[in-house]
Amino acid sequence: MPVRIHFRRNLFSFRHIEKWIFTFYIFIKIGFTFYSSIPTDETEILEPYSFEEFKQLKKRISIALDILPSIRENVSCPILFDPEDQRYPEAAAKASKWHFESSDWNFWRQFEATPNTCEALQQTFSFFTKPLSQEEAEYPLAYGMLVYKDIKQLLYVLSAFYQPQNAYCIAIDGRSSGAFKTQLQTIQTCFPNIHVFVTKRIEYCGPRIPEAVLTCVDKLNERKHSWRYFQ
Ligand SMILES: *[C@@H]1O[C@H](CO)[C@@H](O)[C@H](O)[C@H]1NC(C)=O
């Protein structure tokens, strides 16, 4: 009997409390390591552009078009956006002849050749660094894309709907070239909210297309990101 009492007392003795604290510490440590191993994204609500900043930005946006050969001479955007303009039919006819060359092997080289590829891409395509409005800042979206080739076309598309508060998943067709995969890996290193992965070989209209989309949703779910809607 005295032995039992001794045992009970010991349960709450200083030595045991020390053990409990140690166990608790280990659990916290494991939990923290697990939590911090989840890649971080920009989950905090970002401050949108001010009106002044946006005015400056608007001037820069045209750079992405200026680097396309002969577009300015052939495609007059101010006229094309105004069908009431008398010069519209002529401008439309001229613009329809202009061709966007999507398979352009040299296009990527100009960025690769610069010391800071990420900065060159960011500057040329004016990838936004802030949300465009408070509403968009508070309602982050997630996008999934399945791509196969043409980094030039992809950069124009991506930069058109890129905003820093959103999350992007780019699934690369397993049949894509090694160069294309590397180019996308580079893009991934430039933006914390763009995630790329290589899928199996995709067949046209095959079941692997929805599979790739669902994998994208899965991958976006793994991120510490508060996106609300997937498209
Ligand atoms: C566009 O403009 C350039 C320069 O003025 C010209 O050489 C070219 O033939 C035009 N047309 C097309 C379809 O690119």
Helix locations, 12-87, DSSP H: 14-37, 51-61, 63-66, 71-74, 77-80
Which atom of ligand 1 lies nearest, measured to the CA of 97?
13
pLDDT score, position 40: 52
Over pLDDT 90: what percentage of the chain? 58
Q: Which amino acid is at 75?
A: V
131 neighbors 48 (Cβ within 8 angstroms): yes
Phi (first) and psi of residue 48, to 5 degrees = -70, 165
Non-local (6+) Cβ contacts of 230 within 8 A are: 141, 142, 143, 144, 217, 220
**What's the gap in Å between 69 CA and the centre of ligand 1?**
9
3-state DSSP call for residue 36?
helix
Name the one residue in this structure whose structure tokens are 């750079």: 63
Angstrom distance (rounded) from CA 207 to CA 148: 16
Contacts of 71-78 with CB under 8 Å at 24 or more apart are: 71/98, 74/98
**What's the gap in Å between 67 CA and the centre of ligand 1?**
14
Residues having CB within 6 Å of any atom of ligand 1: 70, 73-74, 97-98
| Pairing, β 194-198 against β 229-230 | unpaired
pLDDT score, position 8: 53
**What's the gap in Å between 77 CA and the centre of ligand 1?**
16
- Average pLDDT value for the chain: 86
**In the numeric block, which tokens belong to residue 187?**
């893009």
Give per-residue pLDDT as tens, 64-105. Answer: 888 898 999 999 999 999 999 999 999 999 999 999 988 887
Give per-residue pLDDT as tens, 7-61. Answer: 455 555 556 667 767 677 776 766 665 555 544 555 566 889 999 998 888 888 8
